[in-house]
Structure 1
Amino acid sequence: MYETITISNSEEIATLTLNRPDRANTISPKLTEEVRSAFGAIQADANIRAVIVTGAGRHFCGGADLRELGGGAALDLDFFTVFEDHPKPVIAAINGAAMGGGCEIALACDIRVMAEGAHIGTPEIKFGALPAGGGTQRLARFVGMGRAKELIMTGEPITAFEALRIGLVNSVVSAELLMEEARRYAAIFVQRAPFALTTAKRLVLKSYDVDLATGLELERRFIASMASPAERKAEQERAAAGQDTYGKIFRR
C-alpha cells in the first residue's frame, strides 16, 4: 500500500516504520504524503489506541532527503505537526541516528524511547541552515534555552544517555529491548480513556502558549466537556472492573 513506510497493527497499537533504509529513512515529499495518509487512517480506526513510530534498518531518520530537495522539491514544514496534533498517543522508538528532521519528528511525538547506541541532534547549522520543522521552538521546551542554543548553534549530536540526562528522551534501553519498551508505554495508553488522553495532549501543548490563569480556565473547560456523562461512567466502570483500588473508589 505504501512505498516509503510500513504499518502493522497488534493489540490496539499501530507501528509506523519509516522505510527508506537505503537513504537513512530521510524525509521526502512522498514520505510526508504517506505518513499523513497513514495517520489519517489510524485516527479513523477506533481499534487503534496508540502509535509507535520507528525506522527501518540502522537509523531512525536522517532528516530531509537533500538529494530530492536539491532537485527542486519542497519539504512540507507542517509535516511535523502530524505527530504532535494526532489525538492518540504517539511514541518515538529511536533505533539509530535521529538527525535534523529526524530529531524534529521525535520532538513532535509524546514519548521518546531511545536505543543505547543511538544519537540525536540538529546539524543544520553546519550547512548554513537551521532546523525549520519546529526544532528552534520545541527543543527549548524540553531541555531549556541554554541547552537548546548549544545543540542548535553547534550542530553537534548527543548520545542517548546525554539526551536522557537533559530530559530530551523519556527512556534509554538496549537496542534489543527498544520496541518492547515502546510497546510498554503503548500498552499503558491502551488502558487509558481515549477522550482523556486526547484532552491531556491538547492541554499540555496549550500550557506553552498561554499564561497560567488562561491555562487554568482552559483546563476546567476542556475537562468538563471532554466526554459525556455516559462515557465517563463507562470508563469508571471499566477501570473499577480491572483495578481493586478504583473499584473501592467508584463502588462505595
Structure 2
Amino acid sequence: MENILIEKSENIALVTINRPTKLNALNKATIEELHEGFKMLNNDTDVKVIIVTGSGEKAFVAGADISEFANFSVEEGGKLAAKGQEVLFDFVQNLSTPVIAAVNGFALGGGLELAMACHFRVASDNAKMGLPEVTLGVIPGYGGTQRLAQLVGKGRAMEMIMTAGMVDASTALNYGLVNHVVPQNELVDFAKGIASKITKNSSVAIAKAIESVNANYTDGVNGYEVEIKNFGACFGTEDFKEGTTAFLEKRKANFPGK
C-alpha cells in the first residue's frame, strides 16, 4: 500500500489516506488501495469498527485527482463514475463493519463523497466540506448528488452543489452532515471513543442493522421487510443467545460475533 496506512488496536482499525503533498486527493491507485484495505478489514474477525481519516492537518481528502480524467470522453466519464461507486463508495456504504469518517480539514468533492459513504461522520473544528464539481463543468459523480440530499435535505443539497460553496464544521453539524465537532487534536481519539462503545455490542446485529437502514435508501426495496427479515435472522445467532442470557443473568455480554 503506497497511499494508505492501516493500524489496528483493540478491535479498531484506523485507515489513513496518506498523500499529504496532494492533500490526500483520490487518484485511481488510492481508490483501489482503499477498496482492498476495506475488504481486508471487513474480513478480519478481530476488527469491529473502521475509522478513516486523512494524513496531516490540512485535509481529509481535498477531492479527486483531476489530472487523471481531464481529457476523458463521455463514455470514459460514465465508466469512471460507475467503477468508483462500485469499488469504493457503494462498497463502503454497504460494508458490514461500521465505518466512521474522521473528517480533518478539507473534505471536498470525492473526499466529501467518501465521508458521506461512511456510516457516520465526526469532524474537526477546522473542517470545510463541499462539492465544487460544477466549477469544473461536471457534477458530483461518486454518489454526491444522492447522499448529500439524503443527509441534509434537497434544498440545502441543491444550494451546496449549485454554488459549489463550502460549509464549515458548525454548519455541517447544524445540517446533520456530521454527528460531532471536536478540536482537531482530539478528533481521532474521539472517533476511537465512539468506536470502542460499538465494539462492545454484537457485530452480527450491527451488520444486520446497517443492511436494514441502507435498505430504506435503495430503490425498489421495502426497508420494513428487510428489517423484519433481519430481525428474525438475529434469533438464530450465537450473539442473540449470549445477549439475552447475559441480560437475564444480569451480567455484561461477551459476544462471539457469530
TM-score normalised over the length of structure 1? 0.90
The Cα offsets for residues 102-140 of structure 1, whole Å up to 9 and x where unpaired, read as 000010011100000110000001111111100001111
Is 2:174 aligned against 1:165?
yes
DSSP 3-state at the match of 1:131: coil
Corresponding residue of 1:226: 234
Aligned length: 241
Corresponding residue of 1:77: 84
Corresponding residue of 2:61: 61
Is 2:252 aligned against 1:242?
yes
Q: Which amino acid aligns with 1:77?
A: G
In 2, the alpha carbon distance for the partners of 1:100 and 1:227 equals: 41
Aligned 8 A contact 1:195 1:227 in 2: no
Corresponding residue of 1:247: none
In 2, the alpha carbon distance for the partners of 1:227 and 1:96 equals: 43
Structure 1, 59-68 or 2-11: larger mean CA deviation = 59-68
Q: Which of the residues 202, 209, 224 maps onto 1:200?
A: 209
Corresponding residue of 2:152: 143
In 1, the alpha carbon distance for the partners of 2:220 and 2:33 equals: 37
In the TM superposition, 1:1-252 aligns within 5 A as: 2-57=1-56, 58-70=58-70, 74=80, 76-78=83-85, 79-209=88-218, 214-226=222-234, 228-237=236-245, 240-242=250-252
> How far did 1:228 drift?
2.0
DSSP 3-state at the match of 2:60: coil
Q: Which amino acid aligns with 1:49?
A: K
The Cα offsets for residues 142-186 of structure 1, whole Å up to 9 and x where unpaired, read as 111000000111100000000000110000000011011111111
Q: Which amino acid aligns with 1:21?
A: P
Aligned 8 A contact 2:31 2:84 in 1: no
The verdict on how the C-alpha distance between 1:176 and 1:241 changes in structure 2, with shifts beyond 3 A counting, is same
Q: Which amino acid aligns with 1:99?
A: L
For structure 1, which runs of at least 5 residues remain unmatched after alignment?
Answer: 244-252
Aligned 8 A contact 1:24 1:59 in 2: yes
In 1, the alpha carbon distance for the partners of 2:143 and 2:93 equals: 11
TM-score normalised over the length of structure 2? 0.88
In 2, the alpha carbon distance for the partners of 1:85 and 1:197 equals: 12
